Chain A
Amino acid sequence: MQATELYGRQIALTVSEATALPPEAQRLTALVVTAKQLTCQRCGSSLVRKQARLPRQQFYCYQCLNLGRISTLTSLYHIPEPNEFLKKSQLTWNGKLTVQQAECAAMIQSKFATHQRHLLWAVTGAGKTEMLFPGLDWALTQGWRVAIASPRVDVCLELYPRLQAAFSNLKIALLHGHQTEPYHYRQLTICTTHQLLRFRAAFDVLIVDEVDAFPFAANPRLGFAVTQALKPVGALLYLTATPSHDLLQQVRRHELGLSYLPLRFHQHLLPTIKVTIQPRWWAKVQAGRLPLRLGHWLSTYAATGQRFLVFVPRVAQLTVVQAAIQRAYPRLHGLTVHSTDPERLAKVQAMRDEQVQYLVTTTILERGVTFPGIDVIVLGADDPIFSTAALVQIAGRVGRSRERPTGAVRFICASYARPIKRAIRQIKLVNRKGRRLRARMPVVSTTE
């Protein structure tokens, strides 16, 4: 094994695999076993003895198995990060930031330089990737090691080509669970947050994008991974359009600074959610009929050619809903798509290419995917499958383009469920901030 493979990493190896290691490699205990406690040193999980048990008084971690099993039969090997990088500017992007984006970018850079832990609450469609470029380039010029991580692999896959284009002479590492390329030591890494568990005190700057993609509380290992992968003096930046309760809690405890970017790149406010209470919408659709309001909206779409997305809670409802639409408005041409649909990519592409006027989909299209100028309708928005974050993200699909910065976001549901109320409140809050910002334009408001 080459020394560079262990720089800032922690790799689990058995005794027989750990021969021929570079002399500077440090060996760390993989699992700490005491009379009372069993703790994985890679993912930080506290393990249940009975479940972690192997024969011969050995133990393994069942929480981070998909990174390769770590057990008392293995050790972690690590070489402290030496920052063997060129200290020069690598930015080849020559786009232009808006005034407020530039101010936000300057704020980000100053947070990096002063090693802060910070949360940037930027509305959907603010153009946050571009705002990272100046700060990233500054950090790379210092010879710093940088990572951009996201809980969702789709986000990583979308970020990688955009960053590779912006830093076209820099080799960027892309790490995720399905990656077949071998690992290489790189100054800039894009990876899933899960892959961060393979790093130890590696990054001077760590950016976690779409940090809310899974509820923070539902994944206690995420916080551990972030702390582990970051150097003790490293800068941490969380990016989100829909901060979770836990993140805002950290802000309140002063563990995180907070900035808002409440305006989209085109300076328009977020479209607000219009709710229609229709308790029997699903029974109607099942009977092949459309709820009255839905029928009105669709007849307008059929007449104007306006493109739209229909979200439903469950995969099984997709074809039923589409059949009802098809029957009422044969002129509307659309497709259904869900996360495990083998034709998912082709169908999304058909929508992008405007070969179809609408898609009926489950929550998979809630983020990342952008179709300019669309409207959205959420059927059964009160279903527990739609979290506050998901609803805000769905609403955020609308009004993304300069050409049509507005649009309709309509929910049909049986009642005002709590996530619906919270989503409406979040959008109102950022719009209030956005309106104030537009009025006085000292662009980004930072509270610390």
Chain B
Amino acid sequence: MPVCLLCQRPSDVKLTLPWVLSWQPLLQPVVCAACWQTFTPIIASQACPDCGRAQPSRNPCHDCRRWGPLAFYNQALFTYNDAMQAYFEQYKFKGDYRLRRVFSQALLTRLASLKSAIVVAIPVTPETMTTRGFNQVTGWLAEGENSDWLRTKGQTKLIPQSKKTRQDRLLTAQPFELTATAPKLANQTVVIVDDVYTTGRTMRHAASLILENGAKSVVGLTLAR
């Protein structure tokens, strides 16, 4: 019997007759219903149009008004709540790579709906690749490797985001650079994918680098906000 990836309890999927007759491929859920309900999806009509934060109104949120207009907009799939924090603790910090499957389908589906030719995942440092061993963003989207055309510059990302103060994060200089293998960005719409949108600094840096290199527009996509 399949076991829920999050609570380890057996999750039995009830096969109903209409379902069997519909001939659709059976997507085995990797988490049980109870665990899945602990995450709060963000509905586009009830979110900040700039950063994707869940809120009743469609006007830019307090943070976005403070930081001024963005050159891109961000979409987030879920609110960063306790369950999401626990998920990141287990997936990213404890390094349980199996948990990529919890959100893989949801992110890939949203990504497909954005119909963009160029998708770029925020990279992790080479140091992280030798300790954690995977990029948490491409873990959801592909094979957990860093993309070979956007990379972190030198030492700038060595302090994990979570250990920096808000001030530190806002003051960081451009941490990314394009490599020679990067595709032509001129007149392209690019989707940048990251795990969490917190202050938006990471997304702003990546977006401005890509816009400076000729992209027509940038959309941010994060799992959580």
Give the interface of A toward B (CB within 8 A): 14-16, 51, 53-56, 58, 60, 62, 65-66, 69, 71, 73
In-complex Cβ contact of B97 among A14, A16, A54, A66 (8 A): A54
The answer, yes or no, to whether B66 is at the interface (CB within 8 Å) is no
The stretch of B35-43, B126-134, B198-206, B213-221 in contact with A is B126-134
Q: Name the residue of chain B whose CB is nearest to the CB of A55.
A: B144
Residues of A within 8 A of B145 (CB): 55-56
Cβ of B98 and Cβ of A16 under 8 Å apart? no
The answer to the question of B12 belonging to the interface, with a C-beta cut-off of 8 Å to chain A, is no
Q: Give complex CA distance A56, B126 in Å.
A: 13
User: Are the C-beta atoms of B133 and A71 separated by less than 8 Å?
Assistant: yes
- Nearest opposing residue in chain A for B146, CB measure: A55
Q: Which residue in chain B gives the minimum CB-CB distance to A48? A: B98
B residues with a Cβ closer than 8 A to A are 90, 94-98, 127, 129-131, 133-135, 143-145
**Contacts A54-B144, A55-B143, A56-B145 given: A16-B94 contact, CB under 8 Å?**
no
Q: Beyond A55-B144, A60-B95, A60-B97, is A73–B134 a contact (Cβ under 8 Å)?
A: no
> Which residues of A have CB within 8 Å of B135?
55
- What 8 A-B pairs have minimum CB-CB distances, sorted nearest first? A55-B144, A54-B133, A69-B95, A14-B131, A55-B145, A58-B133, A55-B134, A73-B133
With contacts A15-B130, A65-B94 known, what are 6 further pairs, Cβ within 8 A? A14-B130, A14-B131, A54-B134, A55-B144, A56-B145, A58-B133
Pairwise interchain contact A73-B94, C-beta atoms closer than 8 A? no
B133 A55 Cβ-Cβ under 8 A: yes
A62 and B145 CA atoms in complex are apart in Å by 20
Residue of A nearest to B90 (CB): A65
Considering the chains assembled together, what is the distance between the CA atoms of A235 and B90 in angstroms?
37
- B129: chain A residues at CB < 8 Å are 56
Contacts A55-B134, A56-B133, A58-B133; A71 near B144 (Cβ below 8 A): no
- Rounded to whole Å, the gap between the CB of A91 and the closest CB of chain B is 41
Residues of chain B lying within 8 A (CB to CB) of residue A65: 90, 94-96
Are A16 and B131 also in contact (CB < 8 A) when A54-B144, A55-B143, A62-B98 are? yes
| Main DSSP-derived SS at the A contact region | mixed
Assembled-state Cα–Cα distance A437/B90 (Å): 53
Q: Bound state CA distance, A58 and B143, in angstroms?
A: 12
Q: Within the complex, which residue of A62, A66, A73 is in contact with B130, where a contact is CB–CB below 8 Å? A: A73
Q: Which residues of A lie under 8 Å from residue B127 when comparing CB positions? A: 16
Instruction: A16 to B133: give the CA distance in the assembly, Å.
Output: 13
A–B Cβ pairs within 8 angstroms, 30 of them? A14-B130, A14-B131, A15-B130, A16-B127, A16-B130, A16-B131, A51-B98, A54-B97, A54-B134, A55-B134, A55-B135, A55-B143, A55-B145, A56-B129, A56-B133, A60-B97, A60-B133, A62-B96, A62-B98, A65-B90, A65-B94, A65-B95, A65-B96, A66-B94, A69-B94, A69-B95, A69-B96, A71-B95, A73-B130, A73-B133
Max chain B C-beta neighbours (<10 A), residue from A51, A54, A65 = A54
Residues of A close to B130: CB separation below 8 A: 14-16, 73
Q: How far is the CA of A56 from the CA of B128 in the complex (A)?
A: 13
**Measured CA separation A55–B97 after assembly (Å):** 9
Q: How far is the CB of A7 from chain B (nearest CB, A)?
A: 26
Interchain CA distance A65-B143 in the complex, whole Å: 21
Most buried by B among A15, A53, A69: A69
Cα distance A16–B127 in the bound complex, in angstroms: 9
Q: In whole angstroms, what is the CA distance A51 to B94 when docked?
A: 15
Contacts of A15 in B (CB 8 A): 130
With the chains together, A56 CA to B135 CA distance in Å?
Answer: 11
Bound-state Cα–Cα, A69 to B90, Å:
10
Kindly identify which residue among B94, B95, B97, B131 contacts A53, using a CB–CB cutoff of 8 Å.
B97
CA distance A56 to B145 in the complex (A): 8
Provide the residues of chain A in CB contact with B90, threshold 8 Å: 65
Contacts of A54 in B (CB 8 A): 97, 133-134, 144
Measured CB to CB, the closest approach of chain B to A259, in angstroms, equals: 37
The smallest C-beta distance from B6 to any residue of chain A, in angstroms, reads 13
Bound-state CA distance A62–B90 (Å) is 11
On chain B, the residues within 8 Å of A71 by CB distance are 95, 133
Q: Please, how many angstroms separate the alpha-carbon atoms of A65 and B99 in the complex? A: 13
Complex CA–CA separation, A414 to B10 (angstroms): 27
Closest to B143 in A: A55
Q: Closest Cβ of chain A: how far from B169's Cβ, in Å?
A: 24
A73 to B131, CA, bound (A): 7
| Residues of chain A contacted by B133 (CB below 8 angstroms) | 54-56, 58, 60, 71, 73
**CA–CA, A234 to B191, complex, Å?**
60
* Distance between B219 CB and nearest chain A CB, rounded to angstroms: 26
- The interface residues of chain A lying within 8 Å CB-to-CB of B144 are 54-55
A14 proximity list for chain B (CB < 8 A): 130-131
Contacts of B143 in A (CB 8 A): 55
Q: How far is B133's CA from A51's CA once the two chains are assembled, in angstroms? A: 15
Please report the C-alpha to C-alpha distance between residue A71 and residue B132 in the assembled complex, in whole angstroms: 9
Q: How far is the CA of A138 from the CA of B144 in the complex (A)?
A: 55
Nearest-CB residue, chain A, relative to B94: A65
Chain A nearest Cβ from B129, distance in angstroms = 8
- A72: nearest chain-B partner, CB-CB: B133
Across-interface contacts of A66 in B (CB, < 8 A): 94
* A399 CB → nearest B CB, Å: 37
